[in-house]
């Protein structure tokens, strides 16, 4: 049985683990590794190591930091099959989807390779006679990153390349179901020449996160996970005086207008709802069909989704793998059962899916549900499984009211061929990321990623320019060099001229 330790100060660290957490392969139901949960003392050690390393790292030139980022980018490319294998083993998504996740994560490394451009300050000469002002941004210190299970590589990569390239040290707490990729990333940073202690990994759950949030030498906390935990993380981190961004859950909607190309819409909706078995924060679990097209759209989505192959992520023909655990499968199945009891129509039923040779796996096939009562939990809650509900509205106004009634506001999309409706939607919808005929509008890494309402607590989005702002503090310097000018000091708070 493989044992997964911590990674502290440039190498694996055994420490004083408090328990062994089983790591399961969700396609087989087999336990394939044991994760050693860090003790509070181990977390303290990791943060102190990071703090010490950062004092030197922040003085390393931008040129050298960017060299390391370039080497890291190449190493991630060279090792993407190893990373993807770890993701498929522990998460279950398909190998090609895992490669896609790594590519999207690597975009942030691309951005960090040119971090110098993002750190340029502003300068004004002679704001008063002989007085100049310039701005600069400095690292915050130690950044802690806490990740979800569904993107073991990409989501931490939204955080650490920018934190490190801007001169911080980083302590990552990966999600317990999928920890191996983070250990590979730690090894690659070391091969890339990153000094020991600048990137560390501590494993565990609530107690490890709490120890990070309360540690006096952690300066900023970047969290991605479910909304209830995001709220705990934000409150605890703020109580301990830390800068915090906490990205939460989602219940993304798309509106389909009657003028849309319905087959294009159906094909993209099916892919967005069922890819990665619906375990994406930008998945599309809810569609509102406008103007009497719901049955037609449901039938077209069923036709596409009904061809999807459910199975092991390592098989090339597979379109979607298992959900993460037996408990997740039971919860999702329960939500579908409940909708059926409330009178909804099950257009495509994925319950009871079984894959030959993988009888212990947690598989669910795509499920499409129409005529769902608006108070049914399958519609109101984040499903995080391969389930799509198709609702109806008579008009665009009715549809946007339904979308904006959601407590979440991560992504939202519209399918239409009418530019004026699309423009109205992008201005009126209450979501942080908007798609026009694009069902999963995840911004590229040189923009920033983040939702509204319960999908993001705190006000800074992650990666891109907002990521740089989150990982750095601004300074404005006002300077004068006596001797070049003469200016008599006064006790008034005056504007010099
Ligand atoms: P989760 O909230 O259960 O766990 C996230 C992290 O928090 C894990 O590292 C976990 O160990 C830790 N944690 C769990 N309980 C905790 C507690 N009580 N106190 C402190 N830390 C705790 O989320 P998950 O199930 O791993 O991931 C799925 C969720 O993440 C979904 O809700 C999904 O929408 C969300 N997500 C959001 C985004 C986004 O960008 N908004 C991206 C990916 C995933």
Together in a domain, 94 and 163: yes
Q: Does 494 map to a domain?
A: no
Q: What is the CA(151)–ligand 1 centre distance, in A?
A: 11
Range of the domain at 48: 2-248+455-478
Dig out the tokens for 380 from the structure. Answer: 């109101």
Together in a domain, 199 and 110: yes
Q: What is the CA(443)–ligand 1 centre distance, in A?
A: 20
Residue 117 CB-density burial (10 A; 0-12 exposed, 13-18 middle, 19+ buried):
exposed
What residues are annotated to the active site?
281
Distance CA(402)–CA(345), nearest Å, equals 20
Q: Does 483 map to a domain?
A: no
Q: Does 450 map to a domain?
A: no
Q: What is the CA(119)–ligand 1 centre distance, in A?
A: 30
User: What CATH code is carried by the domain that includes residue 77?
Assistant: 3.40.605.10
Ligand 1 atom closest to the Cα of residue 177 is: 26
448 pocket-lining for ligand 1 (C-beta < 6 Å): no
453 pocket-lining for ligand 1 (C-beta < 6 Å): no
Q: Whose CA is nearest to atom 36 of ligand 1?
A: 225
434 pocket-lining for ligand 1 (C-beta < 6 Å): no
Q: What is the CA(72)–ligand 1 centre distance, in A?
A: 26
Distance CA(327)–CA(466), nearest Å, equals 36
**Would the ipTM clear 0.95, i.e. be above it?**
yes
Q: What is the CA(227)–ligand 1 centre distance, in A?
A: 8
Q: Does 301 map to a domain?
A: yes
Q: Does 486 map to a domain?
A: no
340 pocket-lining for ligand 1 (C-beta < 6 Å): no
Q: What is the CA(148)–ligand 1 centre distance, in A?
A: 4
Together in a domain, 275 and 220: no
247 pocket-lining for ligand 1 (C-beta < 6 Å): yes
User: What CATH code is carried by the domain that includes residue 298?
Assistant: 3.40.309.10
Together in a domain, 181 and 275: no
150 pocket-lining for ligand 1 (C-beta < 6 Å): yes
Q: 184 — phi, psi (to 5°)?
A: -65, -45
455 pocket-lining for ligand 1 (C-beta < 6 Å): yes
pTM higher than the cut 0.90? yes
Distance CA(174)–CA(201), nearest Å, equals 8
Together in a domain, 266 and 326: yes
208 pocket-lining for ligand 1 (C-beta < 6 Å): no
Together in a domain, 241 and 342: no
Q: Does 487 map to a domain?
A: no
Q: Whose CA is nearest to atom 24 of ligand 1?
A: 148
Together in a domain, 228 and 326: no
Q: What is the CA(196)–ligand 1 centre distance, in A?
A: 28
Q: What is the CA(326)–ligand 1 centre distance, in A?
A: 18
Ligand 1 atom closest to the Cα of residue 227 is: 32
Together in a domain, 307 and 180: no
175 pocket-lining for ligand 1 (C-beta < 6 Å): yes
147 pocket-lining for ligand 1 (C-beta < 6 Å): yes
Ligand 1 atom closest to the Cα of residue 462 is: 40
Choose the residue to mutate in 226, 278, 410, 463 for probing ligand 1, maximizing ligand atoms within 8 Å of C-beta: 226
Together in a domain, 117 and 181: yes
Ligand 1 atom closest to the Cα of residue 210 is: 20
Together in a domain, 169 and 299: no
402 pocket-lining for ligand 1 (C-beta < 6 Å): no
* Number of independent structural domains in the chain: 2
Together in a domain, 175 and 96: yes
Give pLDDT, residue 35: 98
Q: Whose CA is nearest to atom 11 of ligand 1?
A: 205
Give pLDDT, residue 488: 81
Together in a domain, 186 and 319: no
Distance CA(353)–CA(329), nearest Å, equals 11
CA nearest to 311, candidates 93, 63, 483, 149: 93
Give pLDDT, residue 496: 65
* Residue ranges of the chain with per-residue pLDDT less than 50: none
CA nearest to 275, candidates 466, 467, 439: 439
Q: Does 401 map to a domain?
A: yes
Q: Does 212 map to a domain?
A: yes
């Amino acid at each position: 049985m493989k044992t997964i330790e911590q990674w502290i100060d440039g190498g694996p660290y055994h420490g004083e683990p408090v328990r062994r957490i089983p790591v399961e392969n969700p396609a087989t139901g087999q336990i394939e590794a044991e994760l050693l949960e860090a003790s509070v003392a181990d977390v303290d050690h990791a943060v102190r190591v990071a703090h010490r390393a950062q004092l030197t790292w922040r003085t390393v030139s931008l040129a050298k930091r960017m060299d390391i980022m370039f080497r890291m980018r190449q190493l991630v490319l060279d090792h993407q099959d190893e990373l993807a294998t770890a993701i498929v083993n522990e998460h279950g998504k398909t190998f090609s989807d895992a490669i896609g996740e790594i590519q999207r994560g690597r975009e942030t490394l691309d951005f960090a390779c040119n971090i110098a451009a993002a750190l340029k300050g502003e300068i004004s000469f002679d704001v008063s006679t002989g007085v100049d002002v310039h701005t600069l941004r400095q690292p915050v210190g130690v950044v802690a990153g806490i990740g979800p299970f569904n993107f073991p590589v990409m989501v931490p990569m939204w955080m650490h390349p920018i934190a490190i390239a801007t001169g911080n040290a980083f302590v990552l707490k990966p999600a317990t179901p999928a920890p191996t990729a983070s250990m590979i990333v730690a090894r690659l940073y070391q091969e890339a020449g990153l000094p020991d202690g600048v990137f560390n990994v501590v494993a565990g759950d609530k107690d490890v996160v709490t120890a990070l949030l309360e540690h006096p030498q952690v300066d900023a906390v970047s969290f991605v996970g479910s909304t209830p935990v995001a709220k705990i993380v934000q409150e605890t981190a703020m109580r301990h005086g830390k800068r915090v961004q906490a990205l939460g859950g989602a219940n993304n909607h798309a509106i389909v207008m009657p003028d849309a190309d319905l087959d294009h819409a159906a094909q993209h909706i099916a892919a967005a709802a069922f890819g990665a078995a619906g375990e994406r924060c930008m998945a599309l679990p809810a569609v509102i069909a406008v103007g009497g097209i719901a049955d037609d759209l449901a039938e077209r989505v069923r036709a596409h989704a009904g061809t999807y192959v459910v199975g092991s992520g390592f098989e090339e023909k597979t379109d979607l793998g298992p959900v993460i655990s037996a408990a997740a499968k039971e919860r999702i199945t329960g939500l579908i059962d409940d909708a059926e009891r409330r009178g909804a129509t099950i257009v495509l039923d994925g319950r009871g899916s079984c894959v030959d040779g993988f009888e212990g796996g947690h598989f669910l096939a795509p499920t499409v549900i129409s005529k769902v009562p608006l108070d049914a939990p399958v519609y109101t809650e984040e499903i995080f499984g391969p389930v799509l509900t198709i609702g109806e509205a008579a008009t665009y106004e009715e549809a946007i009211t339904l979308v904006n009634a959601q407590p979440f506001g991560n992504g939202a999309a519209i399918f239409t061929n009418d530019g004026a409706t699309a423009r109205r939607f992008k201005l009126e919808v209450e979501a942080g990321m908007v798609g026009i005929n694009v069902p999963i509008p995840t911004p590229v890494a040189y923009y920033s990623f983040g939702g509204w309402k319960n999908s993001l607590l705190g006000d800074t989005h992650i990666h891109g320019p907002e990521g740089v702002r989150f990982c750095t503090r601004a300074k404005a310097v006002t300077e004068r060099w006596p001797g070049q000018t003469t200016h008599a000091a006064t006790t008034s708070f005056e504007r010099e001229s």
